[in-house]
A and B are shown apart, each in its own frame.
Chain A
Amino acid sequence: MTTSIRLLTRRDVEQQLSRPRESTDEEMGICPIIELVELCELLKKGKLKLDRDSLRLGMQVMQEEQAVFIVALDQERLADALFDRDEYIVTGLWSPAANRTVSPTHSVRRLLLRPSNQTWWDGDIYAEAEAIYGIEESETVTDA
């Protein structure tokens, strides 16, 4: 049996947090940490049905279950994704993220999902995020 991989959208993550599902061996959800940050922001502004205890419990369940992989922006991911390289030599900043025409949220999302030889997911997950958020986020940039 093979496990399929899918991107968890912000709405998927919200549902997962409010009604944690039992894990299956058939599907692995990839959750960029930025979706949790955004949900937390909405929660603090009273724009989410969840309360803080539910968020904490839901995150705990997500971490314990094997069905969701939370991609964090740590030092290694940053070093891997923020730069263009020729072999190991840095040749510049990776423009899809290092770009003021993209919102900070989407810059981070792109860095989290950028496929490389360090990631175990391929370009389909990145392309899926672009299809969902790419246009919307570019249109709502506020700090350009």
Chain B
Amino acid sequence: MAVVRAPHHKALNRVAIAAVLVVTLIFLAPIYWIGSTAFKPRSVATSVPPTVFFTPEITPFIKLFTKRVQLTKPYDPAAYEAASWWEKRIYDGGERILKVGVSIQLSQYPNRFMNSLIIAVISTLLAVSMGTITAYGFSRFTMAGEGDLLFFILSTRMLPPVVVAIPMYLMYREVGFNDTHIGLIILYTAFNLSFSVWLMKGFIDEIPKEYEEAALVDGYTRMQAFFRIVLPEATTGIAATAVFCFITAWNEYAFALIMTNRRAQTAPPFIPAQIGSGITDWTAIGAGTFLFLLPVAIFTFALRNHLLRGVTFGAIRK
């Protein structure tokens, strides 16, 4: 019940901690399921009853990175004998790896992963750098209609992506930006910029302006003061903002689904596409998901202390 932290509530505390344990397990169970599917043999992924513990194997990752095809007749025993250990795993699963001559064909996964990386990193850099200087502008100077401008900036983030996607699609087709990296980078930058301005303004507001005043007295120009005094002070805020912009861009699905195709497709719309050609292969899709979630999970841990400011749009002051 209540959050009384008095000593005579020790019993209550124990119950609460036990409850925390249970809740944590429930919340982590789906994540365990996603992660473990990446290492399951195919028959285990949909076994009845569901399998929690099993001997992990690497086959799903072999599938993830190769182009494969369903066998329509038994494989050639000679070819099987000549095959490497990982190729045999594919044969055992009733498939064979496609080849041009002797070189194996890779799946699109590495390419989609790289697209995600390029687009998320560049759009994050743009959104954070533009957001930081704009936040500084709003924080230190007055401007006519400032409140309206800030409202305008925030409101651009409130639009459902599909609402923006319709005209953007029409505009992009005029300028040839459909299915290009630059097209998606612009979209994600625009989407994250408002977030970045609001978040950074919260951080910069907290840097005492006396620091800059002192620097100006010492003969710094305003630009020098910004770069040498304000930016170093704002490092933590910049890092937190960057992580949140990155996660948003990394996970984005709707724009990527509509605006990309062969060249610039990112991983989120691609992963569901690997669901399998004849029977759902959850293990390969689990492997793709596992690798895709890894960076975000690492970020979450590395920057857990900044998460609070980030998710709350800077509305909370510590």
| Chain B associates with chain A | no
Interface residues of B (CB under 8 A from A): none
